[in-house]
Amino acid sequence: MKRNKGTVYFVGAGPGDPKLLTLRGAELLQEADVIVYDRLVNTELLNHAKQGSELIYCGKQPQTSCISQEEINDILIFHGKKGQTVVRLKGGDSSVFGRVGEEAAACRQNGLLYEIVPGITSGIAAPAYAGIPLTHRELSSSFAVVAGHRRKEGKKEEINWGSLATGIDTLVFYMGVKQIGMIQENLLLNGRPASTPVAVIQWGTCDVQRTVTGTLETIAEDVKTKKIQSPAIIVVGEVVRLREELAWFEEKLESSPVFQEAISL
């Protein structure tokens, strides 16, 4: 296959805190001719861009009309074929619910070189900032990350709730706040104890991070009462109990004016 001169770099931007960007990611942002970035990317990261680089926003807002995946692919291919260095900047890690497989395949089919640069995914970072390690020698030897949004109408259910509910110690749901009632119901129906601790972390690693804890029996109502909205990560498992002792980030935030203003809204 004939190769074009341009290269597309799929860079994980990390979960929100701009200091969690990798050194390789920062290096590529400084070299990029074009940066194509998502909604959950902290825009402070764009300060790494060199003068004259083109910044293209391709964020997908939930439940609104937005740029399609095909259009994003076309943007990457167009600039790559012009011989430009393109950074596709994605929140968290592009290989975890980031569609990097689809976009990298489109680049390959069009003769473009590409590189995948891992980032810190929110499903690990947000719990860590909330004082919740996903594994623990006495409490959890396994964890799974799960897409929490509802499947499209007419498609086969993608989640094996029977295996997930009792076969994995710690469960981490992405994009699941609006469907927390469905998640709660399916885990309970498939044998997860109602007393299982649950945490929901909104805007993890950011200076407005909020965490709500409860049990699998109460968490849907807890989230509603506390008005937790996306973006948020849901953690289900005994490791959530460790937060009582290990919460560190929010203790630092307690004196922050930005945080106090956010929780008063």
Selecting among 33, 60, 74, 226, the annotated active-site residue is: 60
Q: Is 199 left (phi over 0), alpha (psi -120 to 50) or beta?
A: beta
Compute CA distances 147 → 20, 114, 132, 144, 173, whole Å. 23, 26, 20, 10, 6
Could you give the count of Cα atoms lying within 13 Å of 151 in the half-sphere of its Cβ?
9
CA distance 35 to 32: 6
Examine the residue annotation and report whether 182 is marked as an active-site residue of this protein: no
Examine the residue annotation and report whether 38 is marked as an active-site residue of this protein: yes
Examine the residue annotation and report whether 152 is marked as an active-site residue of this protein: no
DSSP 206: S
Query: Nearest-CA neighbor of 132 among 16, 255, 248?
Result: 248
CA distance 13 to 40: 9
Query: Nearest-CA neighbor of 13 among 50, 39, 51, 52?
Result: 39
Selecting among 17, 169, 175, 222, the annotated active-site residue is: 175
CA distance 225 to 245: 24
Which amino acids are annotated catalytic?
Answer: 38, 60, 175
